[in-house]
Structure 1
Amino acid sequence: MFKSFEELQSFGKDQVEAATAASSALTKSLQAIATETSDYSKKSLEAATAAFEKIVSSKSIDAAFQAQSEYAKSAYESFVAQSTKIGELYTALAKDAFKPVEVAVAKVQAATK
């Protein structure tokens, strides 16, 4: 497989670099996901609080139901948009984290031929 000790050393170095790059990409992506989730939670709580205040201050039952319906619709739309965004972030995480590993595997396959 390896013709010299230098080739083995180079192979080991490449593997460590690939693992480091994958770890770095994973950390960066997870941090972005955590930030996005935190921001969404804050906005969601603020919207729920505003809706609750609007419902409580309603002059009639009809106005309260209308306010609650508006909040439910906007909360659902916000949730779907956020879920899509988080899904895209997880997809990017997988691609970025495994790209260095794919390169390392390709090098190993090329070296064994």
Structure 2
Amino acid sequence: MSNFEEMQKLSKENMDIAMETLGSMSKGFQAIAAEVADYQKKSFEDGSAAVEKLVASKSLDKAFEAQADYFKTSYEGFVGEMTKIGEMVTDLSKDAYKPYEGVLGKMAK
């Protein structure tokens, strides 16, 4: 009977760990999705402003300058955003792993 109780306890602990991991992953994915949505909105607004500036250009030189400025800021924004999302994914991975640290520590003993 003792083995059955131990198996039941182990099963409950594993389920609790899995639920904790799923909760942290869900929060992490929601944060990433919100960040991507904000970036898309900002990118669209910046693109619209660049088109307006391009159309309002009085000369070809000003149009090329406006286009070059937009490409530069767009690229820098993209790199910055991907770096931020990469850090968020790293944090998500760390948070998802935390519940297993105790279990793996017990197994190592």
Aligned length: 108
- Counterpart residue number, 1:32: 31
1:83 to partner: Cα distance: 0.5
Q: Runs of 5+ in structure 1 lacking a partner?
A: none
Aligned-CA RMSD value: 1.4
Q: In the TM superposition, what whole-angstrom CA distance separates every residue of 1:77-105 from its partner, at most 9, and x where no partner exists?
A: 10010000000011011111122133233
1:6-64 per-position Cα deviation (integer Å, ceiling 9, x unaligned): 22221111100000000001100000000000000000000000000000110000000
Report if the CA contact (8 A) 1:18-1:104 is conserved. Answer: no
Equivalence for 1:52: 51
Give the percent of matched residue pairs that are identical in Structure 1 and Structure 2. 49
Q: TM-score, normalization: structure 2?
A: 0.92
More deviation, 72-81/93-102: 93-102
Q: Which runs of 4+ in 1 moved over 6 A?
A: none
Q: Which runs of 5+ in 2 are unaligned?
A: none
- SS of 1:81's partner is helix
Residue in 1 that maps onto 2:78: 79
